[in-house]
Structure 1
Amino acid sequence: MGIIVNLDVMMAKRKMSLNELSERVDLTLSNLSILKTGKAKAIRFSTLEAICRALDCQPADLLEYVNTENPTEIK
């Protein structure tokens, strides 16, 4: 897996819908959905910044690294 996107977790904590976030960060619903489901291959820093601003969070709240070579290793 590698990088896990926790966008849905932060949206739930902030009680924000995908539609509302889409409007606030000026991204299409389909692009946000791709990011939310973890299917995105990349994210621009400007997009990450806009999402963090809208959700009042840090990038680390949205992105998490999981060691796929040794998944039992303690972080």
Structure 2
Amino acid sequence: MTSSSEDSGLPGEIIVRLDVMLALRKRRAKAVAAEIGMTEANLSLLKSGKVKGVRFDTLIRLCDALTCTPGELLEYVPNKADDAG
């Protein structure tokens, strides 16, 4: 569910909360993928955080299908080492 940031030297990571939003909305990934024109495989990769990026048009379609905001799907978490600063 996260993008790896420790190996990349980034100051934090993005946590993908798509699985949480699907559960809250009682929607199946298969149905949402079909609705937004995305393959189930690609939605699964996004849901697991194994993608390097997401297009804004995909994010817009997801937000529309799930009636949510980007902030409900994605969360920024700073690295713990950076917090000690």
Say how many residue pairs are matched: 73
Q: 2:46 & 2:64 partners in 1: Cα distance? A: 16
Unmatched 5+ stretches in structure 1: none
1:67 paired residue number: 78
TM-score (norm 1): 0.90
Cα RMSD (Å): 1.6
TM-score (norm 2): 0.80
Unmatched 5+ stretches in structure 2: 5-12
Higher relative contact order, chain-length normalized (CA < 8 Å, sep 6+): 1
Partner residue of 1:19 out of 17, 30, 37: 30
Partner residue of 2:46 out of 35, 48, 51: 35
1:9 aligns with 2:5: no
